[in-house]
Amino acid sequence: MNTADLGLPVDVPSTALFTDQYELTMLQAALRAGTADRRSVFEAFTRRLPSGRRYGVVAGTGRVLDAVENFRFDADVLAFLEEQDIVDGPTLEWLASYRFNGDIWGYPEGEVYFPGSPILRVEGSFAECVLLETVILSILNHDSAIAAAASRMAASAGERPLIEMGARRTHELSAVASARAAYVGGFTSTSDLAAGFRYGIPTVGTSAHAFTLLHDNERDAFQAQVNSLGSGTTLLVDTYDVTEAVRTAVEVAGPDLGAVRIDSGDLLLVAHRVRQQLDELGATRTKIVVTSDLDEYAIASLAAAPVDAYGVGTQLVTGSGHPTCSMVYKLVARAESASPKAPLVPVAKKSMGAKSSRGGRKWAARRPDAYGIAEAEVIGTGPVPADLAGHQLQVELVKSGEVVAREPLDAARDRHKAARGALPMSSVQLSRGEPVIPTEYL
């Protein structure tokens, strides 16, 4: 589901200043030099995956499309640029009518990617494409990092649901984007109501330790919550003594108590003891939810525990140690002149070290083996080989400035599950390793 499906507002204030100053100064210089209208191709990609990761996850594509649509230099923005003497008069005049009228192709949201994958390809004049660099990278780097962490956690959790609970651990707007990316990566719900409102993600939540401490005793707190929310609610049982709390919870709510939540202690040991106690008290259908600074490793360590759901916060919204994907946005081809018929010339950065790039407008395909499992990410600039034509990864997202590929968020979520399922089994191993399939260039 996405905001459009719900009939909720998708418009945001202009995204034009979600950029770096040098994009505008490059524009000014290109306009003055007469090169601003040269047809150009930019690509977003990463040279490497974060250390130890086996694959990346494309997330934020839908937000990129919204950002491109809202990239407008309104009167207030233009006044700021003039007051701060950022650009000259002719450039301000050009910006006043800015609309992206080019084309964007890319990996669809939820797809996996590897080093060198042309995740997004932006084509148009140099002027209209160069301005989008920072906002595109800002969204893709953040959302893809969160989705990758979420994907690893979802793989570790198996069929057990995951709750996103990181709003209090990050910037308030990042929290909404994080919940969206986590949902793409495999989480089932969020505690963040703004994410539920904007993107239709299921929301959950009951009470914190403060609610228990508010009351004279734990029984009164549990009774108040059950009176308000019903016996199917989730009671937090680790404020004082867990064993006593579980006993009281079942006495108050009865055997139909929905769930208990454990937020501290040795989760593996406590979960086993709580499950045994619940069963002995006749609450055999009561679920156990665990929280407390979980990451993919902690979740994996609880695979044999009688846990029914996990709540994850800090480690998720910080990318579980990798808060960015190190994506870059590079010019890979440009026309020899401003003529619409001028041929494209491949261009590339040829610096020392690991910061070089490959020129040319690229296509990408994922070659499967005889069993349909991915065996290589193939990237080329010439004709697509016949055997790979049906395995190409890029789809058209924007055509002549119009978004043509907006989709429900659940489509991206389902796509990711399918894409991860088509990778070799070693992709979900948590031990450090190289990308699960190699990148080949043709």
Q: What is the pLDDT of residues 235-269, one digit of tens each?
A: 999 999 999 999 999 999 999 999 999 999 999 99
- Tokens found for residue 329: 């946005």
Over residues 351-399, the pLDDT tens digits come to 766 677 899 999 999 999 999 999 999 999 999 999 999 999 999 999 9
- Write down the pLDDT at residue 349: 82
Q: Cα–Cα distance between 214 and 326 in angstroms, integer?
A: 46
| Whole-number pLDDT of residue 103 | 98
Task: Give the gyration radius of the chain's Cα atoms.
Answer: 25
> What pLDDT is recorded for position 10?
40
Strand arrangement, sheet containing 309-312? 189-190, 162-164, 309-312, 287-290, 259-262, 234-236
Q: How far apart are the first and last CA of the chain?
A: 38
- Give the pLDDT confidence score for residue 9 in this predicted structure: 42
CA nearest to 14, candidates 75, 87, 85 = 75
For CA atoms 402, 405, 409, 413, give the dihedral sign. Answer: negative
What's the one-letter identity of residue 88?
D
With beta carbons less than 8 A apart as the criterion, state whether 426 and 54 touch. Answer: yes
Distance CA(10)–CA(159), nearest Å, equals: 32
Cα 325 to Cα 328: distance, rounded to the nearest angstrom = 9
The pair of structure tokens assigned to 398 is: 């924007």
Reported as a single tens digit per residue, the pLDDT across 84-110 is 999 999 999 999 999 999 999 999 999
261 three-state secondary structure: strand
**By three-state DSSP, how is residue 210 classified?**
helix
Angstrom distance (rounded) from CA 206 to CA 220: 16
- What's at 25, amino acid-wise? T
Helices (H), 285-408: 296-301, 314-317
Please list, in sequence order, all residues whose beta carbon lies within 8 angstroms of the beta carbon of residue 138, skipping any fewer than 6 positions away: 18
pLDDT > 90? residue 323: yes
Task: Write out pLDDT tens, residues 26-81.
Answer: 999 999 999 999 999 999 999 999 988 999 999 999 999 999 999 999 999 999 99
Question: Which pLDDT value is given to residue 33?
Answer: 97
Lowest pLDDT segment from 19-28, 150-159, 425-434: 425-434
- Please check the confidence at residue 11 and state whether its pLDDT lies above 50: no
Tokens of 337: 């002149």
Q: Quote the pTM value.
A: 0.94
* pLDDT tens profile 200-229: 999 999 999 999 999 999 999 999 999 999
Q: What is residue 15's predicted lDDT score, i.e. its pLDDT?
A: 92
Mean pLDDT of 429-438: 92
Mean pLDDT on 395-417? 97
Question: Over the chain, what is the mean pLDDT?
Answer: 95
HEC per residue, 1-67: CCHHHHCCCCCCCCCCCCCCHHHHHHHHHHHHHCCCCCEEEEEEEECCCCCCCCCEECCCHHHHHHH
**Cα distances (Å, whole numbers) of residue 339 to 36, 97, 174:** 12, 21, 42
- Read off the pLDDT of residues 278-320 as tens digits, 9 standing for 90 and up: 999 999 999 999 999 999 999 999 999 999 999 999 999 999 9
- For the record, the structure tokens of 2 come out as 């996405």
**pLDDT for the residue 202:** 98
- Classify 307 as helix, strand or coil: coil
**Residue % of the chain over a pLDDT of 70:** 96
pLDDT digits (tens, 9 = 90+) for 121-137: 999 999 999 999 999 99
pLDDT greater than 70 at residue 143: yes
